[in-house]
Structure 1
Amino acid sequence: MSTPYEKAVELIDEAHKKDPKIVKINSEDVPYELHYAQKMSEYLVKRSNNASDTLRIAIRAQHFRRWEVPRDSYPMTRVGYHAWRTYLKKRQAEQVERICLDCGFAGEDAERVASLIRKEDLKEDEETQILEDVACLVFLEDQFADFEKEHNEDKIITILRKTWAKMSKEGQDLALQIPMTGRPQELVQKALAG
């Protein structure tokens, strides 16, 4: 018999499998958001190998059904970007809280998952900080090499510095272990040197 945690992860991953964006991972086609969720879970183990079920669910559902609200559905400005991200966090938190309740989580635990997905009390709440660290680590390892090709160097260095500032010392230490070469490595070194 499955636990509430196992049921929730199964439903979350079923949703991730519906992402129409497909990536090649070890010669296998994988829906991108399923890949992203798996990377988030992998980094959580590196960052905190005794995480609570609520944090593990929030990590797994960080981008829950994100593809349904494309970035270009909001103005392509800084304000539009922040409005998009704020809406996504609220939407994702509500949807995953409902899944948790349906799977048998206590109300306060389901609300805790939602609070973590919304990244409430960042810097004061250790679990929220762990989630932020993990998201930054996945960005650096899995998304940065493609991301940096789309923006000029000054913007990339600014983003890297902001990313670095969001992370805890433990997150930063893990980030320094991510293997990078070429231009991504050069940009990270410039960002951290300045």
Structure 2
Amino acid sequence: MSKESEKLADAFRLFDEANSADPNKELWDGKVIPKELLYAQRMTETLNRFEPSASIALQLTARCQHIQRWEIPRNSFEMNRSGYLQWRQALKKYHAEVARKILSEVGFNSSVIDKVEFLLLKKQLKKNEETQTLEDVICLVFLEYYYEAFFQKHDDQKVIDILQKTWRKMSAKGHEAALKISFSEPGLQLVKTAVLN
């Protein structure tokens, strides 16, 4: 194993240890798993399928994209659009701080750490290839693992609006991958209404 691969494995281990403290749990494959630990593993698996040649920085970013997300709850900001946007910005900065600390501890150089921070802050979406790949993977993870439960809790118009916003964030390659996901029949109908009409 190369030195970089060893550091990557160490960072993944520390990211996973941090996310294992998530008090929120999810049942998956008969096991109860901390929610953000499961999300991080899904991000890595999806990135590996979608972009097998992803850089070390992008692999690291995918794994820590929601690191310790529960530490800044949504209700710590006003429950309106403005509060939501402030919450998202606060989360991005927090994830970048936690990631920077862990990556420094593991021994990554500043250029890798700066790139992970750049990607976590979603800079230059639609312009930077790696930021776009990260966004595609985030959207694919939502569609594959979280969309079915989401659409059952909301009215069709809200779901269609969210799907259209998600679609706009994705690249053509992301769209192609999304349309290969196995949706339920009602879920697929909403996807078709939102993005194929």
**TM-score > 0.5, shorter chain as reference:** yes
Letter in 1 for 2:28: I
Q: Which residue of 1 aligns with 2:120?
A: 117
Find the aligned partners of 2:65 and 2:153 in 1 and give their Cα distance. Answer: 23
Aligned counterpart for 2:42 among listed residues 39, 42, 49: 39
Find the aligned partners of 1:133 and 1:90 in 2 and give their Cα distance. Answer: 20
Letter in 2 for 1:85: R
Does structure 1 residue 190 correspond to structure 2 residue 193?
yes
* CA displacement 1:157-189 (0-9 Å, x = unmatched): 111011001001111111001101132222111
Does structure 1 residue 100 correspond to structure 2 residue 103?
yes
Find the aligned partners of 2:141 and 2:77 in 1 and give their Cα distance. Answer: 24
Does structure 1 residue 159 correspond to structure 2 residue 162?
yes
Structure 1 residues 120-129 or 177-186, which shifts more? Answer: 177-186
Query: Which segments of structure 1 move beyond 6 Å, counting only runs of 4 or more?
Result: none
Unpaired segments ≥5 residues, structure 1: none
Identity of aligned residues (%): 42
Letter in 1 for 2:123: E
Find the aligned partners of 2:92 and 2:73 in 1 and give their Cα distance. Answer: 13
Find the aligned partners of 2:14 and 2:41 in 1 and give their Cα distance. Answer: 14
Q: Which residue of 2 aligns with 1:22?
A: 25
Per the alignment, in what secondary structure is the counterpart of residue 93 of structure 2? helix
Q: CA RMSD, aligned part only?
A: 1.3
Letter in 1 for 2:88: R
| Aligned partners of 1:98 and 1:110 also within 8 Å | no
Does structure 1 residue 52 correspond to structure 2 residue 55?
yes
* CA displacement 1:44-97 (0-9 Å, x = unmatched): 011110111110010000101001111122112111111111110011011101
Q: Which residue of 1 aligns with 2:68?
A: 65
Letter in 1 for 2:133: I
Unpaired segments ≥5 residues, structure 2: none
Q: Which residue of 2 aligns with 1:133?
A: 136
Per the alignment, in what secondary structure is the counterpart of residue 23 of structure 1? strand
Structure 1 residues 61-70 or 1-10, which shifts more? Answer: 1-10
Find the aligned partners of 1:63 and 1:160 in 2 and give their Cα distance. Answer: 21
Letter in 2 for 1:127: E
| Aligned partners of 1:16 and 1:33 also within 8 Å | yes
Where do 1:84-99 residues align within 5 Å?
84-99=87-102
Per the alignment, in what secondary structure is the counterpart of residue 24 of structure 1? strand
Number of paired residues?
A: 194
Q: Please report the TM-score for the alignment, with normalisation by the length of structure 2.
A: 0.94
